[in-house]
Structure 1
Amino acid sequence: MTIQTSLAHIRNTPNTGDFHCTPYDYFYFPEAKVYDLKDKIPKSHAVIYGGGAIEPRLRTDKIHHNVEANFKIAWGIGTSLSRRSTNPELVDDMDLVGRREWGRKGGIYVPCVSCMSELFDKHYEIDKDVIVYAHAVKPGVQEVLEYGYPTLNNRAPFEDVIKALASSELIITNSFHGAYWGTLLNRKVVCIPFSSKFHGYKHTPVITKGASWKQALKEARNYSEALEDARRQNKKFYERVMDLIS
């Protein structure tokens, strides 16, 4: 038996960003089934990998080489190299590659598909000046936490995260998706990076580290066009995918 469309991403995870970054949740695919990257993916007409920082597993580990499919596609994938601001060459042995880093060579730019969530269409009242959205296990925001700002981390439910980020004028975060989602919500974002993945945003937050985050609060800006642009890129990529596999 051949599955029509298999979609694989980091699904067995407490990380809210990783869990909600698959196109399976936002677009229609014929006879689709979703898998975790570690699952055995059955013979398929098309396999779509996405998103998150899974590119090294496709490029270096080549986990897709043992998967039998007529078409292999990557959607909104990225990499994450510790203490670096640049990325290596993109995976190039798939039929279609969408990478989430703006300006990176190879593939097609398509930001994280979580932008398609209806949560971004709701109205939220701003009742805080600053909120901290922390990665549950990565460093960077310890000094900021000492100031007593309202805080949550990237294991909170998606709906709670978006509501909290939208409730603040400014977001301080060391989470890739925290910076991305805050920007989509047209909020000001200060980002404290720990790897290369924070240097590929099209609509760039203020990147800072150490005590300089205090000055960065004055430099952050809004991007009112970010949500519409991200959704447009994903809709265009969906059309490319369907043209390829139909």
Structure 2
Amino acid sequence: MKLKKAIGKIFPVLDSDKRKKTVVRSVLAKNQTNKGVVNIHRHDKNNIGDYFCAPHLYFEQLQNTALDISDFRLKNKSKVANWIDKVSDNSLIIGGGGLLNIRYFEMQLNLFQELNNKGKKTVIWGAGHNAIDYKNFNLNPKYNVDITKFGLVGTRDYNMPNEWVPCVSCLHPIFDQKFTEDKEIGVLLGKKSTKNKILLNKISSYPNTSNMSSLEEMVNFIGSTNTLVTDSYHAMYWAMLLNKKVIVVPTTSKFFDFKYQPVISSFENFENDLNKTQSYSGILEECREVNLKFADKVFDYLNL
């Protein structure tokens, strides 16, 4: 039975890799143009952070340009054909989200890098590294693609050797609302953590929610909390935009490279680190200004 399960896991992976390589070859075989623009990211409405980190939601010039970076691995032939055509026919805005240094998106990023040699205009906007082995990443920080092979690059990673452009979700008007704090400490869990019954029991005495809710619910929860404990990148980011104190339980390298560092801890020890937290002012204004300036560069580069 164990052998059967192991084989069952191997063959779907091999089949998926075969399909993806076929898509890559199909794109590279096509004539590449820059007729319009597509904004490629993880277009998943069930993941609040992934969905709201895309520039197409915040600029009129980019409306209706969304393309899911994961669609190229689908079995639906018409959707895959659409992906191939959209990538081949248009300039590419890649991001935001944790698209770099993670296996799930490596083949796509390598494809986008190679398209530079075929005259494709490419922009990385607010994407960032997402290495699971984050301890080793910090010892030798580099991306899994050559960012010099993209036309214009701004990543959310402050210490990397390129222009810093934080997540564009800072432009959402929800952060202009006023909130009343009624919670000293709140815990906001990522999707995977919500399945950990031991963890759920440990934090049950604290107000808590997850990133599987809506944007409004997440931001309202953060806004009403003085100190947020979270293993969600966007919960961390949005809390800092709202001048909250933040303790992060890291799951990948993405938590270590924001310009303003939260307290790094664990769900086992965060209570001992509460006195280390601090809030920062002016982050919302700064992040918005950086994105608007970068947008000017992008629209000039893409002739939009």
TM-score normalised by L of structure 2? 0.73
Match of 1:88 in 2: 142
What SS class does the counterpart of residue 130 from structure 1 fall into? strand
Aligned equivalents of 1:168, 1:12: Cα separation in 2: 27
Match of 2:38 in 1: 6
Match of 2:9 in 1: none
Output the amino acid matched with 1:76: G
Distance 1:59 1:224, change over 3 A: farther
Contact 1:4 1:32 in 2 (8 A): no
Match of 2:186 in 1: 131
Aligned equivalents of 2:69, 2:100: Cα separation in 1: 12
Aligned equivalents of 1:133, 1:30: Cα separation in 2: 31
Match of 2:160 in 1: 104
Contact 1:46 1:69 in 2 (8 A): no
Match of 1:200 in 2: 257
The structural deviation recorded for 1:75 is 0.3
Distance 1:58 1:123, change over 3 A: same
Aligned equivalents of 1:63, 1:130: Cα separation in 2: 44
Contact 1:132 1:145 in 2 (8 A): no
Equivalent residue for 2:95, pick from 25, 47, 50: 50
Aligned equivalents of 2:154, 2:193: Cα separation in 1: 26
How much identity, in percent, do the aligned residues show? 27
The structural deviation recorded for 1:30 is 5.8
The structural deviation recorded for 1:211 is 3.5
Does the alignment pair 1:213 with 2:258? no
The structural deviation recorded for 1:220 is 0.8
Equivalences for residues 146-225 of structure 1 within 5 A: 146-209=203-266, 211-225=268-282
Aligned equivalents of 2:205, 2:158: Cα separation in 1: 34
What SS class does the counterpart of residue 133 from structure 1 fall into? strand
Does the alignment pair 1:235 with 2:292? yes
Match of 1:15 in 2: 47
Aligned equivalents of 1:166, 1:176: Cα separation in 2: 16
With a CA cutoff of 8 Å and minimum separation of 6, indicate the structure with the bigger relative contact order.
1
What SS class does the counterpart of residue 60 from structure 2 fall into? coil
Aligned equivalents of 1:217, 1:200: Cα separation in 2: 21
The structure whose residues are more often helix, as a share, is 2
The structural deviation recorded for 1:136 is 1.1
Contact 2:34 2:121 in 1 (8 A): no
Aligned equivalents of 1:80, 1:144: Cα separation in 2: 28
Unaligned runs of 5+ in 1: none
Q: Quote the RMSD (CA, aligned, Å).
A: 2.5
TM-score normalised by L of structure 1? 0.90
Task: Name which one, 1 or 2, has greater alpha-carbon Rg.
Answer: 2
